[in-house]
Amino acid sequence: MNVDFPLALDGRGRTAEVGDEAHVRDLIEQLLLTAPGERVNRPDFGSGVLQLVFAPNADALAAATRLAVEASLQQWLGDLIEVSDIQVESSDASLRIRIEYVLRRTGETRVAEVAR
């Protein structure tokens, strides 16, 4: 079992745990929402997606976001997942990222979505 993200307590007052599938989804969310330089011992961890939220909304933003997400996922989670597809939608003041991936351990296809 793995520690749940964000950190929470279970019904017994202990640290909440999740299975491998939920843990990988949590890792994807952490990677996407962490800015490079934010972690002291891993200054290059993160995707920089949150910085792009404040950029002018255009097709170029969606393309840049897709490339940043793909590179980050491959670098940091490439041993856990194989990315099948990344879709980035930018409309008005929101950004939605949909990642389809295969868990390397089980071969199962999963989807993670993050919207800001």
Q: Which residue has better confidence, 90 or 7?
A: 7
Q: What are the domain boundaries of the chain? A: 2-115
Q: pLDDT-based confidence at 53, cuts 50/70/90?
A: low
Q: pLDDT-based confidence at 115, cuts 50/70/90?
A: confident
Q: Which residues contact 3 (CB under 8 A, 6 or more apart)?
A: 15, 16, 17, 18
Distance from C-alpha of 50 to C-alpha of 46, rounded to nearest angstrom: 10
**Whether this model's pTM surpasses 0.75:** yes
Do residues 73 and 31 make contact, with C-beta atoms less than 8 angstroms apart?
yes
Q: Which residue has the tokens 């840049």?
A: 64
Which whole number is the average pLDDT over 74-82? 94
Q: What percent of the chain has pLDDT over 70?
A: 92
Reply yes or no on domain 2-115 having CATH 3.40.640.10: no
Residue 94 has pLDDT above 90, yes or no: no
